[in-house]
Amino acid sequence: METTQPEAQIPIELHSQKPDSWKRFALDILETILLAVVLYVGINAVSARVRVEGTSMNPTLQNNEYVFVNRLAYLIGEPQRGDIIVFSLPLDEKQDLIKRVIGLPGETISIQNNEVLVNGVKLEEPYIAQPPVYSGEWTIGRDELFVLGDNRNASKDSHQWGVLPIKNVIGKAVLIYWPPSEWKFINHIEEAFSP
């Protein structure tokens, strides 16, 4: 008696698997690109990265350091004296600067005899490069700030171009992230007034 072995069946879908794998690969690439775009837009909505240019914030920030900026900081709270902020220059809103908040809405800032006075009280400033050699007085409106660079005599700031509208503030500087050797959280000093 002769037995016959069943013939091996060739899968019919052998050739149809290739187009499906290419479709899946293309879909994976598209999903990855879409996720990257969503993350990029999301991260830029809540933060900014800026490069410090120049020496106006010495000794706190150095030329060519990169700083991470929190765009949401003032949606939750108000700027505080001592905060280091990034803002659009009122005279040229295409130019962004980084300075320290010195005066708050409703205050009077006076600079005389190498000292900064807030409503007549001397501001202790351990973070500055040297005392200011200029003088003047400014009254800050309801929606305004007064900002100065820590390198007082080498900074273009409110003592030259006036008060800063709060609407121009981009965010609060929180972290130096480049170069890696300088990586640190920025110390926003809580100023103490002299007695």
The counts of H helices and E strands in the chain are: 3, 12
Confidence (pLDDT) at 195: 45
Confidence (pLDDT) at 193: 57
47 is catalytic: no
**DSSP one-letter code for 13:** G
Confidence (pLDDT) at 23: 83
194 is catalytic: no
Residue with tokens 């973070």: 127
Among residues 16, 21, 23, 56, which one is catalytic?
A: 56
Report yes or no: 59 and 137 within 8 Å, Cβ to Cβ: no
Q: What tokens appear for 9 in the block?
A: 């069946």
Q: CATH topology for 48-185?
A: Umud Fragment, subunit A (2.10.109)
Q: What is the largest CA-CA distance in the chain?
A: 121
Residue with tokens 């050699």: 133
* Cα gap 64→84, rounded to integer Å: 16
Alpha helix (H) residue ranges in the chain: 17-46, 73-76, 158-161
Domain range list for the chain: 19-45, 48-185
Confidence (pLDDT) at 42: 65
Among residues 23, 47, 99, 155, which one is catalytic?
A: 99
Q: What is the pLDDT along the chain (195 residues), one digit of tens a residue?
A: 555 555 555 555 544 445 678 888 888 888 888 887 877 776 666 667 888 999 999 999 999 999 999 998 898 889 999 999 999 998 887 889 999 999 999 999 999 999 999 999 999 999 899 999 999 999 999 999 999 999 999 999 999 999 999 999 999 999 999 888 888 888 776 555 554
